[in-house]
């Protein structure tokens, strides 16, 4: 059984492919259960974000796991193949540590990925698909991420996606003080966006969400004397969209919630005044055809990546330090795996020795009960144990072919250093 990291990310696949491979958080427990029941996969966890979908698993058949991923999303394996990477053992461990530390993120050093990975672990634990191997891997990855962030500058000078959205809006409108902003969704990303835009004091800001209570709760956090913040339900989008100059969206909807027709109607009501639309969701919340409208400036997560490179040079200098930490921790983890793999053999060896000890002790006690000299019984006991314990190594040395004898002699010296002269 080997450890694998299988998947695709923003380095290997465009947004149009990534959005077809996403897993909704609420679907992950059932998906993991289906995978481990239907395929020869002993342990599994899935990390699905805007920029990556990765399956971490313990299996001897990674091809079967990849086939399952393709079938689950109704994508042909051949169609998916150009975008997929398959990392095994040491490469997989290094990759997981890099992901947790933010070294593989679209925004180098961004901290959100660690929380997303922890959520993936909780879901796998709840599904019962996390065994000792993956559990230890993830706990080590969290420790590595903490060490990297506390001892390097990998997280310094980060320009977040939310800050990039502000920058794009200012590029179109200049000052945001006269603009109305709509935030669609009430998750972590929209909370960050709301915080950044609230700092620019727009004319008005509104939170739209399926659950009105959650939208109102988020809105109340940013309401102040110089900023009006409201809340609406998602089903009000169609009739309210025309009011807003800037629309940010990031929901977990599997299908677009803002379509071409809805935007066309809004533009008509606005008399074709421009709208900035920033779609931070994967799968996308806004239909791609909207980008063809002349008065809409539509940006996706991949578009924002060009802006968030600000401050990258300083963080890249920290990558070398971070990678050195990761390499050392990868070696430590592989040592643990190697020791774990030796446990069955060690258990069998000690069990065999215990059986011999118990048999010789029983024989010695019966001899003493018959009145034999304790000194003689103990001498016989020690000799018998010595002979039995050394019978295997002695026979191996005597019967070893010449080409293998040197290797076996070296092993014996390592096993019994006092007698091999290497103590």
**Active-site residues: which are they?**
50
Who's near 237: CB < 8 A, 6+ residues apart?
184, 208, 257, 258, 262
| 323-343 per-residue burial string, b: 16 or more CB within 10 A, e: under 16 | bebbeebbeebeeebeeeeee
CA distances from 353 to 40, 367, 375, 384, 395 (A): 35, 21, 23, 12, 17
Which three-class secondary structure state does DSSP give residue 283?
coil
Paired strand residues for 59: 2, 41
Question: In 340-407, where do the E strands start and end?
Answer: none
Q: At what angle do helices 62-72 and 28-38 cross, to 10 degrees?
A: 140
Cα 4 from Cα 139, distance rounded (Å): 17
Identify the burial level of 178 via C-beta atoms within 10 angstroms of its C-beta, where 0-12 means exposed, 13-18 middle and 19 or more buried: exposed
Q: How far is CA 348 from CA 149, 340, 343, 351, 387, in A?
A: 43, 14, 9, 5, 19
Q: What is d(CA 246, CA 266) in angstroms, rounded to the nearest whole number?
A: 12
The answer on whether 186 is annotated among ligand-binding residues is yes
Query: Is 69 annotated as ligand-binding?
Result: no
Instruction: Please choose, from the candidates 52, 71, 74, 73, the residue with its C-alpha nearest in 3D space to the C-alpha of residue 6.
Output: 52
Q: Which residue has the tokens 């401050």?
A: 311
3-class SS of residue 102: coil
Residue 51 annotated as binding site: yes
Burial class (CB in 10 A: 0-12, 13-18, 19+), 118: middle
- Ligand-binding site membership of 187 (annotated): yes
Give the three-class secondary structure for 279: strand
Is 185 annotated among the ligand-binding residues?
yes
And the tokens for 176?
Answer: 């945001």
Quick check: 51 and 282 in contact, CB under 8 A? yes
Residues in binding site? 49-52, 105, 110-112, 116, 185-190
Residues in binding site for NADP(+)? 185-190
Residues in binding site for substrate? 49-52, 105, 110-112, 116
């Amino acid at each position: 059984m080997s450890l694998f990291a299988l998947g695709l990310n923003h380095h290997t696949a465009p947004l149009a492919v990534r959005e077809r491979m996403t897993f909704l958080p609420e679907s992950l427990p059932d998906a993991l259960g289906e995978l481990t029941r239907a395929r020869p996969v002993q342990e599994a966890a899935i990390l699905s974000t805007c920029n990556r979908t990765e399956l971490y698993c313990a299996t001897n058949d990674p091809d079967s796991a990849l086939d399952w991923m393709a079938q689950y999303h109704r994508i042909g394996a051949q169609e998916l193949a150009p975008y997929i990477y398959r990392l095994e053992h040491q490469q997989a461990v290094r990759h997981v540590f890099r992901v947790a530390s933010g070294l593989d993120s679209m925004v180098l050093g961004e901290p959100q990925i660690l929380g997303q990975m922890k959520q993936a672990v909780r879901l796998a634990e709840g599904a019962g698909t996390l065994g000792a191997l993956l559990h230890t891997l993830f706990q080590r990855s969290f420790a590595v991420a903490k060490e990297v962030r506390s001892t390097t500058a990998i997280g310094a000078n980060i320009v977040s996606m939310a800050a990039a959205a502000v920058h794009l809006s200012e590029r179109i409108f200049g000052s945001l003080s006269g603009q109305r902003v709509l935030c669609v969704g009430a998750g972590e990303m929209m909370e960050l966006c709301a915080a950044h835009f609230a700092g620019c004091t727009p004319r008005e800001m509104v939170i739209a969400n399926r659950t009105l209570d959650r939208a109102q709760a988020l809105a109340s956090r940013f309401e102040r004397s110089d900023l009006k913040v409201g809340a609406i339900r998602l089903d009000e989008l169609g009739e309210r969209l025309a009011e807003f100059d800037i629309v940010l969206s990031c929901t977990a909807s599997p299908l677009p919630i803002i379509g071409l027709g809805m935007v066309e109607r809004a533009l008509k009501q606005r008399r074709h005044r421009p709208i900035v639309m920033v779609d931070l969701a994967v799968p996308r919340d806004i239909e791609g055809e909207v980008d063809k409208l002349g008065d809409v400036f539509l940006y996706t997560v991949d578009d924002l990546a060009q802006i968030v490179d600000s401050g990258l040079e300083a963080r890249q200098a920290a990558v070398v330090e971070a990678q050195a930490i990761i390499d050392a921790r990868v070696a430590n983890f592989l040592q643990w795996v190697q020791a774990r793999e030796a446990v069955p053999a060690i258990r069998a060896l000690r069990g065999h020795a215990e059986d011999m000890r118990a048999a010789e002790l029983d024989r010695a006690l019966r001899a003493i009960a018959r009145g034999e000299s304790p000194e003689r019984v103990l001498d016989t006991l020690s000799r018998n144990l010595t002979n039995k314990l050394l019978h295997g190594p002695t026979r191996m040395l005597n019967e070893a072919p010449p080409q293998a004898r040197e290797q076996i002699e070296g092993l014996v010296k390592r096993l019994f250093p006092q007698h091999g002269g290497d103590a």
